[in-house]
Structure 1
Amino acid sequence: MSPSKQPFFKSILTNLILSSAAIATLSPTASLAEDVIEEKTIGMELARDLATEAIKACREKGYSVSAVIVDRHGNQRVAIRDDYASRFTLQIAEEKANSTIMSGLKSGDFRAQRGDIRPELNHVNGVLIMVGAVPIIQGGIRIGALGVSGAPGGEKDEACAQVALEKLEDRLLF
């Protein structure tokens, strides 16, 4: 190759290397994402036991309810409907739990704090801003949510959910 063509090819090669480096640097997968993500989420046995305990707590007070557990992403893990609870209580319980996943708060606390946008949030598919759901936290990490529906008032639903958390708190510690 003639000496006069060497700078031209060297320039092209340098630009290709710099362009490749710039693309790699700007690529979201190269700079922001991880190839493997580890996370805590609620297991089936704990989800089942929490839902069962919430239903038992409401039964003791004379209420027939449904209890739904969703994982940290709002995916249903367990749904249990007591014998006399209407089928609609399953949907309401799940949507209450989803509002807790969305906010990180008890659904009643979220309802109280965000009255300014509550009507709009109730139009989000799969979310219902009503009292009756609590976050499930293990070791400081929200691993899911428990929603209850069917008692005469959301505060009674929430109380049953809280009883379930307290009853199984030893399984939620580190």
Structure 2
Amino acid sequence: MMNKVISNIRVLSCLIILGWGLIINPDRLVLAEELPQQSVLPLELANKAALAAVKHCKKEGYRVSATVVDGAGVIKALLRADGAGAHTVDSSQRKAYTAASLRESTQKLALLIARKPEIQALRDMNESILILGGGLPIKIEGEVIGGIGVGGAPGAALDENCARAGLEILGADLYQEKN
């Protein structure tokens, strides 16, 4: 019985201390609705996108790797097709990271840098950036929630076509080239 009374007193004391803290410094109170809201890419969908990209390339005769990252560029799914080169893992990961981080197609970025040498430094922003076609941002209703990258097909445009298959399976906004 005494333990229950002591426990109740401790709980009441904590509530009083918290209440005084809010009275003394109400600016410290953060309401849930004031916190940033962010959409996330569920693991199941990330896996579906990566698998769709690898299957599309396989159907075309290419052995590739496909990586899907979240909005922060962290890997959610990575698949390497049977027989795909080891280098394809790194290139797909870096393309996905670049597309999510810079919120743009890696092919468009490569073309932009070719036309405007003054922005060549984009290539060296960090070691994860790879400005080479095959990476697309994953956008749902205009919001970038991740990126998909494909590496291993014989050409950047082919990698990008496989990445596009990953977007299609998600019902994501399809990337349209704008000049």
TM range (shorter): 0.7 to 0.9
* Alpha-carbon distance in structure 2 between the residues aligned to 1:117 and 1:46: 38
* 1:9 aligned residue: none
TM-score by length of 1: 0.74
* 2:10 aligned residue: none
Q: Pick closer, same or farther for the CA change 1:118–1:85 going to 2, 3 Å.
A: farther
* Alpha-carbon distance in structure 1 between the residues aligned to 2:162 and 2:57: 5
Instruction: Please tell me whether the aligned partners of residues 113 and 120 of structure 2 are also in contact (alpha carbons under 8 angstroms).
Output: no
* Alpha-carbon distance in structure 1 between the residues aligned to 2:85 and 2:120: 25
Offset of residue 90 of structure 1? 0.9
Offset of residue 57 of structure 1? 0.2
Instruction: Please tell me whether the aligned partners of residues 49 and 165 of structure 2 are also in contact (alpha carbons under 8 angstroms).
Output: no
CA RMSD of aligned residues (A): 2.2
SS at 1:145's partner residue? strand
Task: List gaps (5 residues or longer) in structure 1.
Answer: 1-23
- Is residue 2:43 matched to residue 1:44? yes
Structure whose alpha-carbon radius of gyration is higher:
1
Task: List gaps (5 residues or longer) in structure 2.
Answer: 1-24, 174-179
SS at 2:137's partner residue? strand
* 1:165 aligned residue: 167
Alignment of 1:121-136 (within 5 A): 121-123=122-124, 124-136=126-138
* 1:81 aligned residue: 80
TM-score by length of 2: 0.72
Alignment of 1:76-155 (within 5 A): 76-115=75-114, 116=117, 119-123=120-124, 124-155=126-157
Q: Pick closer, same or farther for the CA change 1:89–1:38 going to 2, 3 Å.
A: same
Q: Pick closer, same or farther for the CA change 1:64–1:141 going to 2, 3 Å.
A: same
**Aligned positions, number:** 141
Superimposed CA distance per residue, residues 27-68 of structure 1 (whole angstroms, 9 cap, x where no aligned partner): xx99xxx97322012110000000000000000000000000
